[in-house]
Copies of this chain bind each other. A is one copy, B any other.
Amino acid sequence: MKSLPELLEEVKVRVVPTEREKEKVLTKVEKVRLRLERAFSKLPYPVEVLLQGSVAKDTWLKGEMDVDIFVRFSPELDKEEIASMTLSTVKKLFGERRCVERYAEHPFVTVRLLEMNVDVVPCYRSEKGEWKSATDRTPYHTDFVLSKLSKEEKNEARLIKRFAKGIGVYGAEIKVGGFSGLLCELMAHHFGSFLKMAEAMARLRLPLLIDPMKYYEGREDEARDAFGTGFIVVDPIDRKRNVAAAVTQTKLNEMVVASAAFLNGPSIRFFFPKVKDLSLGQLKRKILAEKRQLLAIQIPKIEAPPDILWGQLYSARDKVLTIMKNGDFDVMRIAAWTDEKRISLIVMELGTTILPHLKLKTGPPVTSPHTLRYLDLYAGGGAAAGPWIQEDRLFILARRRYTEAATYLKKAIKEYVKAGAIPSLVAKELESGAKILVGGEIPASLKGKDAGAFLSGFIDGRPEWMRSVWAESVRKKRT
């Protein structure tokens, strides 16, 4: 077995580009930047075209490079103007065919070039603290990382990023709710190394306050007043912002558990998980053999930028959870997923998809003014059994209107959509093309590797890293 330092060295070899590789990347990227700079210089406004993101910060993962080029406008222009100028200039330069219009806080363009994807993002030349758009901070962040992080820390940031990716907690987008690239870099700077970060996470007790610029030194209470008592990483260029704000409790705790598990039994699989997903056919057989009580809503194509789509999908998932609970269904777990193109899924596993016919219904306290009306309603035999008096209350056994989860969900969704209680984009599709599927119908109705991988992961229940690490350790024990 490899020692821990050997293991980390092996990961480093896989994530830190060599000097030669770095040079090659930077040369190529600079060419693209120059082409963009030339194109944007024709606009009637002074703009800067800046290399940003992990390539600029020297923290990108070997072979996983996404290039960010920011176009910085005067704060006097309005958001729509800078967005449309960016889109039209980029499209004109590279041809519409290569460009995908995308959206975070405001629109940006992804250009698909031969060897890389380049995001071209408009922003403002804002003074610190006078942010006009969320992307205005990025150039300052780049400066911070470049000037404050040592070369070693940048490479440790690469390890942290790879670990976060491996355990599925990388990315601040709504889909993930995890650790952004900047957050990984700030953690590398704060803890000094991946290993120290993992040790700190493994024994994490909230609140945790990381404050690179010591804005709140000696005034930690002030930070807690501003950010609450969770996981707080004060933005080094904006004392009012928590860089870790997007990290959900679940993702933070996945980091905690994975860190503890890694330290207890280091494995390359935390960084590079390998899982064998079941095929849709295998999934169907497994669901039927184990009588898994699954229920799914399959929703057709929803047209929206990813953050909007995932946001609405997660919110719909939470509504569905409420709906099912209101119908007395015991939802043991629920998840939502979309390929961002053709299909969205909300899948849940219930205690049972078929409820008993009768349920205990608590009536009024005996001393309530409603007692006589309650008797008038039920004492003549209107209930399946009762009313009876037990201690200080009346009770009946009532007949359920809906015993089948699928039937109930169909009806309840209609009512919720009608009442406007489900996010609009999902609601639209629910009304028209959505299908409700039970058990073995779910894999039978899915297509494609991605959907299969999602369902396989859901049925297994474990995060990928856990499946991968433990499969590895079982394999090792056997040999």
A positions within 8 Å CB-CB of B: 203-205, 249-250, 253-254, 256-257, 260-261, 264, 290-293, 330, 332-333, 349, 351-352, 356-360, 366-367, 371-372, 375, 379-381, 383-392, 394-397, 459-463, 466, 469-470, 473-474
Which residue of chain B is the closest to A253 with respect to CB atoms? B366
**Bound Cα distance A339, B6 (Å):** 79
Are B371 and A257 interface neighbours, CB within 8 A? yes
**A293-B358, A387-B462 given; 4 more Cβ-contact pairs under 8 Å:** A257-B366, A291-B357, A332-B359, A379-B470
- Distance from A475 Cβ to chain B, minimum over Cβ atoms (Å): 11
Q: Which residues of B contact A261 (CB under 8 A)?
A: 372, 375, 379
| Given A360-B332, A375-B466, A461-B397, A257:B389 Cβ within 8 A | yes
Are A290 and B357 interface neighbours, CB within 8 A? yes
**Can you list 27 A-B pairs, Cβ within 8 angstroms, ordered by A?**
A249-B391, A249-B392, A250-B389, A250-B390, A257-B389, A261-B372, A261-B379, A290-B384, A292-B358, A293-B358, A330-B360, A333-B360, A333-B390, A333-B397, A349-B385, A351-B356, A351-B359, A351-B360, A379-B462, A379-B469, A381-B474, A383-B461, A385-B462, A387-B461, A387-B466, A388-B463, A396-B461
**Bound Cα distance A332, B355 (Å):** 14
- Distance from A164 Cβ to chain B, minimum over Cβ atoms (Å): 15
**Bound Cα distance A380, B390 (Å):** 47
Are B204 and A367 interface neighbours, CB within 8 A? yes
Which residue of chain B is the closest to A352 with respect to CB atoms? B356
Are A474 and B291 interface neighbours, CB within 8 A? no
- Distance from A253 Cβ to chain B, minimum over Cβ atoms (Å): 4
Are A474 and B253 interface neighbours, CB within 8 A? no
Which residue of chain B is the closest to A473 with respect to CB atoms? B380
Which residue of chain B is the closest to A390 with respect to CB atoms? B250
Q: Which residues of B contact A461 (CB under 8 A)?
A: 383, 385-388, 396-397
Are A391 and B253 interface neighbours, CB within 8 A? yes
Interface centre among A349, A394, A461, A474 (most CB of B within 10 A): A461
**Bound Cα distance A367, B253 (Å):** 8
Which residue of chain B is the closest to A254 with respect to CB atoms? B389
Are A385 and B257 interface neighbours, CB within 8 A? no
Q: Which residues of B contact A351 (CB under 8 A)?
A: 356, 358-360
Q: Which residues of B contact A380 (CB under 8 A)?
A: 470, 473-474
**Bound Cα distance A395, B461 (Å):** 9
**Bound Cα distance A395, B257 (Å):** 13
Q: Which residues of B contact A366 (CB under 8 A)?
A: 253, 256-257
- Partner of A397 from the list B332, B352, B470 (CB cut-off 8 Å) is B332
**Bound Cα distance A360, B366 (Å):** 36
**Bound Cα distance A88, B380 (Å):** 53
Q: Which residues of B contact A254 (CB under 8 A)?
A: 389
Are B293 and A392 interface neighbours, CB within 8 A? no
**Bound Cα distance A463, B462 (Å):** 51
- Distance from A385 Cβ to chain B, minimum over Cβ atoms (Å): 3
- Distance from A472 Cβ to chain B, minimum over Cβ atoms (Å): 10
- Partner of A253 from the list B264, B389, B397 (CB cut-off 8 Å) is B389
Q: Which residues of B contact A250 (CB under 8 A)?
A: 389-391
**Bound Cα distance A390, B335 (Å):** 11
**Bound Cα distance A395, B254 (Å):** 12
**Bound Cα distance A381, B460 (Å):** 9
Going nearest first, the 8 A-B pairs with the smallest beta carbon separation are: A385-B461, A386-B461, A332-B360, A253-B366, A380-B470, A352-B356, A379-B470, A249-B391
Which residue of chain B is the closest to A359 with respect to CB atoms? B351
**Bound Cα distance A443, B391 (Å):** 28
Are A349 and B397 interface neighbours, CB within 8 A? yes
**Bound Cα distance A356, B250 (Å):** 27
- Partner of A260 from the list B292, B352, B371, B388 (CB cut-off 8 Å) is B371
- Distance from A251 Cβ to chain B, minimum over Cβ atoms (Å): 9
**Bound Cα distance A18, B391 (Å):** 39
Interface centre among A254, A385, A386, A459 (most CB of B within 10 A): A385
- Distance from A228 Cβ to chain B, minimum over Cβ atoms (Å): 15
**Bound Cα distance A204, B392 (Å):** 12
**Bound Cα distance A253, B393 (Å):** 8
**Bound Cα distance A463, B379 (Å):** 10
